[in-house]
Amino acid sequence: MNFNKLQIRNDLVHLLMDSIDDYVYIGDLQTNIFFVSKNMVDDFDLPGQQIEDLVTVWGRLIHEKDKERFFVSIQNMLDGLNDIHVEEYQIINKKGEYVWVHCKGRLLRDKLTNKPTTFAGIVKKSESMGKIDFVTGLFTHEKLKSDILNENSDGILRRGGAILIGIDEFRKINVMENHGTGDAVLRHVAQSLQMILPANTFAYRFDGDEFFIINLACSKQHLIQIYYAINNLFENELNIDGKSFRLTISAGILSFSDYQININNLDKYTDLALRLAKENGRNRFEMFNISLITGKIREQKILRELHSSVNNGCDGFYLVYQPILSIDPYRINGAEALLRYRSNEFGELGPCEFIPLLEQAGLICEVGKWVAKHAMKDCVSYIKIIHDFTLNINVSPLQLNDCFFSYAIQAMLIEHQINPKHIVLEITESCFSCNTKSEKDNVDYLSNIGVMLAIDDFGTGYSSLSRLSQMKVTTVKIDRDFVHSLYKSNFNYAFVESIIRLCHSINMKVCVEGVESLEQFKDICGMRADKIQGYFVSKPLKKEVFVNYLTSNSGGGLKELPDIFKHEAEIQHETKKLIKAINSIPVCLSVWSPEFEILTCNRQALKLFGIPTRQEFIKKFFNLSPTYQPDGQPSINKAHEKISLAIEKGSCSFKWLHQNSEGVSMQLNVTMFRTFYNGKYAVIAITHDK
């Protein structure tokens, strides 16, 4: 096609281009000169309406991920594979925004030579398209807004409501499978929604794994019923492309009649309710409440403050120190450094509020460095007071992903001349799975230079007990939630006791957090934990107060601790002296718990019953007892009765029929008395055969 001939019909071309909203292009492939509509020049900042090599010029504006597909389509057309070019892609406009467009062009060829002569077509703007989501076949978010405005010209929603639903943890499907499978799941969800939605209720594709459901006439209760109907769709596993998936759905529900919503706030309000549903455990819905806006405004203000604080050397942050009590013997020789923040607008903020925001804003690593640096600086003065003092410092998983983290810690140790044995880094148990190379390298390096590592909040993550021995840790910290519910669940009590025993069997220490009452303290001591932390020992203290606290207990002693510590420490000390003394004389001694378990015995007990080890004595004691005692009582019942009596009254005496390991019967005299053993009431039984 001759471009000069095309110019003759220039008025017709202009008429065509000016009469439609879409972008129009037409080009002579002999000269490679194109003519484009004026709106195309204006919206995409093209050099003019007449452009040489438009394909290359236009291609530079296309999003990187779409470029290859665009150029392959053009080349296939030029190579004669087809005469039509149809593609959807993102292209950057003069505002610097990527917008989706639908491009359709046709190639004309010379009838004699079959060579390409003319290429012309239309690029549709998103607002002039059918507004259909190509993945799900649902209407798009843009169509949702235009539909609402058609019904509510002032943009105020007064009746009905909307549900924003999201597929929980949908990202895992894309990661573990592929985006093609993810798209198939989205299509399945979309088709399922269309099948069950009632009349006058419409579904739209929103963003990612989210869908909008809207009804402009229904009640709040009707909206909730719609959510449950949707949720019921996914009670059973789905089979998609030969793969099984179990989906759960969370939702944010907004009733227009409650608030009369401006259309501009529709997305924000439903999204706030959906985020809350996911934060509260997923697979549920939350109703929008205006207080969510207040909370969001507060969150944004705090975020701005945190950014400003970090930019100003972490102004507003400070450290407090919570003492850690060693049980054997009772003494304070450690503490945990805890981060606090004082907001200019909101005052003191709790860590549960500002720590997630630091992580969300990507500030946690910078603040974490500040914590470690200032904690080590303070630790120098603490070590001067108590020479075996250890300081626990919390580490975020994000810090462990920094490949230079361990070197930064080592540099701080060198700067403050601190032996690594004085520092314990508390790391959540998920970090010990070492999901990344940086995590593994940091854990290995810190361990190798002598820094002690502790698993923080053990029991809340996913570590199997069998993996404990493989972790490079010296201490396990049991989460406070187990302590707070110690008496509400047999599992929690058994869990804490079992973890302590397991850790001791592999030479790990155990620190129990959140001990707040005398009852909890006694039970944890009885379980033989190594360390205790919580308000029963002390609340977190500011540096100046903590220094005075340590100074007044310069040996790590107990001057300032509650009287119960001194009393029980004295009793425990006397009990140890008693056991040591009895071990040196020919009296058979065994120690029993209030739960009727043998805790230990002395050498004379082993000799009397002919049993070689304490472990075997504990295991076989009742096996060597007759089923019934001479007075007709079952042996186990009588033992339980006498132990309970000794605890209640202080002491008791009785006769006991037993036999040694060779089966020889022995008539024994037993005297029991109440004492304190390892921080808990116990019964000492003195037994002799004369």
Topology match between the domains 3-128 and 568-688: yes
Between CA 257 and CA 216 the distance in angstroms is: 10
Handedness of CA 96, 98, 103, 109 (dihedral sign): positive
pLDDT tens sequence across 246-257: 899 999 999 998
What pLDDT sits at residue 9?
Answer: 53
Where would I find the H helices in 461-598? 480-484, 490-505, 518-526, 543-551, 563-583
**595-643 per-position pLDDT tens digit:** 888 888 888 888 888 888 888 888 778 788 888 888 888 888 888 889 9
Distance linking the first and last C-alpha atoms of the chain: 126
Highest mean pLDDT among 135-149, 500-514, 560-574: 500-514
pTM of the shown model: 0.54
Q: How many CB atoms lie within 10 A of CB 633?
A: 12
Give exposure, 512-541, as e/b (b: 16+ Cβ within 10 Å): bbbbeeeebbbbbbbbbbbbbbbebbbebb
> Closest Cα partner for 88 from 123, 44, 37?
123
* 347 beta partners: 343
Whether domain 3-128 has CATH 3.30.9.10: the reply is: no
- Positive or negative torsion for Cα 223, 225, 230, 234: positive
Residue 48 confidence (pLDDT) above 60: yes
Residue of 676, 673, 684, 635 lying closest to 651 (CA atoms): 673
The single-letter code of the amino acid at 164 is: L
Two tokens, residue 292: 């969510």
Q: If you write DSSP's letter for every residue of 306-366 in order, what string do you get?
A: HHHHHHTTSTTEEEEEEEEEETTTTEEEEEEEEEEEEETTTEEE-HHHHHHHHHHTT-HHH
Which residue, among 141, 139, 248, 262, has the nearest Cα to 185 in the 3D structure? 248
Segment 329-374, tens digit of pLDDT: 788 999 999 999 999 999 999 998 999 999 888 999 999 999 999 9
**pLDDT above 70 covers what percent of the chain?**
87
Determine the average pLDDT of the residues in 216-224: 92
CA dihedral (183, 185, 186, 191) positive or negative = positive
Contact 121, 105 (CB under 8 A): yes
* Cα 204 to Cα 379: distance, rounded to the nearest angstrom: 58
pLDDT score at 467: 60
Q: What is the mean pLDDT of the chain?
A: 84
Report the range out of 94-98, 461-465, 573-577, 580-584 with the highest average pLDDT.
94-98
What is the average pLDDT across 395-418?
Answer: 93
CA angle 514, 515, 519 (to 5 degrees): 150
The CA-atom distances, in angstroms, between 204 and each of 179, 226, 573 are 20, 15, 73
Q: Which own/partner pairs from 289-295 qualify as long-range (CB within 8 Å, at least 24 positions apart)?
A: 290/259, 293/269
Within a 10 A sphere around the Cβ of 26, how many other Cβ atoms? 20
- Which region among 101-105, 250-254, 419-423 has the lowest average model confidence (pLDDT)? 101-105
Rounded to an integer, what distance in angstroms lies between the CA atom of residue 532 and that of residue 510?
9
> CB neighbours (10 Å) of residue 359?
15
pLDDT in tens, 369-399: 999 999 999 999 999 999 999 999 999 888 9
Domain over 141-288 is classified CATH 3.30.70.270: yes
The CATH code belonging to domain 568-688 is 3.30.450.20
How do residues 114-150 score in pLDDT, each as one tens digit?
899 999 999 987 555 556 687 887 878 888 888 888 8
Report the C-alpha gap between 684 and 688 in whole angstroms: 13
Strand order in the sheet with 98-109: 50-52, 33-36, 23-28, 116-125, 98-109, 84-92
**Amino acid in the structure at residue 362:** G
Task: Give the pLDDT band of residue 559 (cuts 50, 70, 90).
Answer: very low
CA 372, CA 29: separation in Å to the nearest integer?
Answer: 67
pLDDT of residue 15: 63
CATH code of 314-550, in short, is 3.20.20.450
652, 647, 656: which is closest to 683 by C-alpha?
647
Question: Domain residue spans in the chain?
Answer: 3-128, 141-288, 314-550, 568-688
pLDDT of residue 24: 93
